[in-house]
Chains A and B, each alone.
Chain A
Amino acid sequence: MSHKPLNREPYQQAYYPPSPTRFTRYMRTSLIWQAFRFLVINVKMLRLMAKSHH
């Protein structure tokens, strides 16, 4: 006999934070999108380094 939950316990620790949608999770491992993000992250970090050395 299957026990499908009829209700969900609210007000728990895991109830409040945002959860990534299926699309967001897909994009996190999409090779083409992540290759682009890799370049973006590199540029952001290089800008940060340029501003940090005096």
Chain B
Amino acid sequence: MARIVILGAGIAGHTAARHLHKMIGKQHEIVVVSPNPKWNWIPSNIWVGVGQMKEEQVTFDLAEIYRKTSIQFHQAKALSIHPQGSAESEKPYVTVEHTLAAMAGAQEKITYEYLINATGPKLNFGATEGLGPDHGHTVSVCTASHAVEANHKLHEVIADMRKGQKRTIVIGTGHGMCTCQGAAFEYIYNVDHVLREAGVRDLARLVWISNEYELGDFGMGGVHIERGGYITNGKTFAESLMVERGIEWITRAHVKKVEAGKIHYETLDGSFHELEFDFSMLIPPFAGVGLKAYDKAGEDITAQLFAPNGFMKVDADYTARPYAEWSARDWPRTYQNPAYKNLFAIGIAFAPPHMISKPMQSPNGTAINPTAPRTGMPSASMAIAVAHSIRDMINGAEKPTHHASMAEMGAACVASTGANFFSGSAASMTVYPVVPDFEKYPDYGRDLNLTFGEVGLAGHWMKYALHHLFIYQARLKAGWSLLPD
């Protein structure tokens, strides 16, 4: 019997766990380690952040779900990986620290035959002074509890506006190296929607600020789609949406510091600016969660397993090259660590070979460019591929049998621009592949038959349906495996 340990129970980790359980759960041991007691459907946090949904509607208790299966769940934080075992035993193991109140602080070693690192990101609010809900002056929608607080503060501002006071609301990215612009993009439109419903939109100055070179970049270098007889860049549509809703935008911006009511930022031209605000939701940059690695003798081998940003090295080509030489082939296919064949990293936890958007620097040397997105559908695709590969390797395959390169997979994104069954809307987008492949698609790097976008009520229905579908599936309810991931 083999033991497969999965670190993290987000979209990537939980998807790997349920597929492994379905395929080999009766013969082998599956262990999930997550410091969070709840699973969170993160794409719906933006609705919690404007009061359209409750926290309980986007989360559920992981232990309760795993109790119905043979999956063992440890509510604990992973501290270190020991891929060579220790002086006493050659069996590789991870060290975890329990976070469940009854066992808080207790450490435990869990041995494994296969390890999947799906720890997701550390929300690195500390990278920008004054950023974030805990020690700063901005709110976040990155977790369900953050979104609850964002909604509370947003409604305080709406109450002020109902008294006739004008307010400035700033939404976007809180650092020059952020990814996940999509969440902020959705949030600003949902804030616009609730302000209109509250009848106070005319009292709000709504400002978008981001590290994108142009609107609609989303860390993927932007997209081109066919529309109205032209092949048009997504920038045109993103700007059109902003203008239609009276939203101003600032791009090419690195937020340097946030004080109470004031954002200090630098733009790509090297100039420095200030922007006053009454309410601000800024996405933080992501970093690895800080896992350490040690060899058999106890020597630190973290730099061998992880990139400097804390994400785990996998089968990508990490050779440093100029942008013009970046290729779709640089991206990992199997997510297997090159040094330890029983070690995999998926979702945000794997180290990308480089960005997708072109790297940019201000004359002051400040990097201002979105980093590569790898959440949602790509995370699930990686998880399924790795789960199948591990199953086959347990059954005798010498190497991973399935692949899920971001240069060979698409992503679907439904970005809510207002939640209402009749008056709501959303931008429905698909892009294929996520990482442009200019060898296959020389003009735009993408298959224009599979890359599209449109705005409408159908998108809202789609997003609402996906919310229920994915939560149903994640809860392992009857027939979950028949639903698309």
Q: A45-B430, A46-B484, A51-B450 are in contact. Are A35 and B402 (CB under 8 A)?
A: no
Q: Cβ of A5 < 8 Å from any Cβ of B?
A: no
Residue of B243, B384, B385, B411 ringed by the most chain A CB atoms within 10 A: B243
A28: contacting residue among B377, B385, B455, B485, CB under 8 A: B455
For chain B, give the interface size range: 35 or more
Stretch in contact with the other chain, from B128-136, B336-344, B457-465: B457-465
A19: contacting residue among B244, B248, B381, CB under 8 A: B244
Closest Cβ–Cβ distance, residue B226 to chain A (whole Å): 13
Stretch in contact with the other chain, from B22-30, B44-52, B317-325, B421-429: B421-429
Q: Cβ of A54 < 8 Å from any Cβ of B?
A: yes
A33 and B242 CA atoms in complex are apart in Å by 24
Residues of B291-309 at the interface with A, using a CB-CB cut-off of 8 Å, are: none
Q: Are B456 and A37 in contact (CB under 8 A)?
A: yes
Q: Are B457 and A52 in contact (CB under 8 A)?
A: no
A-contact bits for B405-425, CB 8 A (1 contact / 0 none)? 000111110000000001101
B402: contacting residue among A13, A19, A49, A54, CB under 8 A: A54
- CB-defined contacts of A49 to chain B, threshold 8 Å: 377, 410, 412, 484-485
Residues of A2-41 at the interface with B, using a CB-CB cut-off of 8 Å, are: 13-14, 16-20, 27-31, 33-35, 37-38, 41
Q: Cβ of B452 < 8 Å from any Cβ of A?
A: yes
A-contact bits for B427-457, CB 8 A (1 contact / 0 none)? 0101010000000000000000010101111
In the complex, the chain A residue whose C-beta lies closest to that of B422 is A29
A27: contacting residue among B242, B430, B456, B484, CB under 8 A: B456
Q: Cβ of B276 < 8 Å from any Cβ of A?
A: no
- CB-defined contacts of B455 to chain A, threshold 8 Å: 28
A-contact bits for B23-63, CB 8 A (1 contact / 0 none)? 00000000000000000000000000000000000000000
In the complex, the chain B residue whose C-beta lies closest to that of A20 is B244
- CB-defined contacts of B402 to chain A, threshold 8 Å: 54
Q: Cβ of B149 < 8 Å from any Cβ of A?
A: no
- CB-defined contacts of A16 to chain B, threshold 8 Å: 239
Q: Are B423 and A13 in contact (CB under 8 A)?
A: no
Q: Cβ of B70 < 8 Å from any Cβ of A?
A: no
Q: Are A51 and B240 in contact (CB under 8 A)?
A: no
Which A residues have a C-beta under 8 Å from some C-beta of B? 13-14, 16-20, 27-31, 33-35, 37-38, 41-42, 44-49, 51-54
Question: 19 A-B pairs, CB-CB below 8 angstroms?
Answer: A13-B248, A13-B249, A19-B244, A20-B244, A28-B455, A29-B425, A29-B456, A31-B422, A34-B458, A35-B458, A38-B462, A41-B462, A45-B430, A48-B412, A48-B432, A49-B484, A51-B410, A52-B408, A53-B385
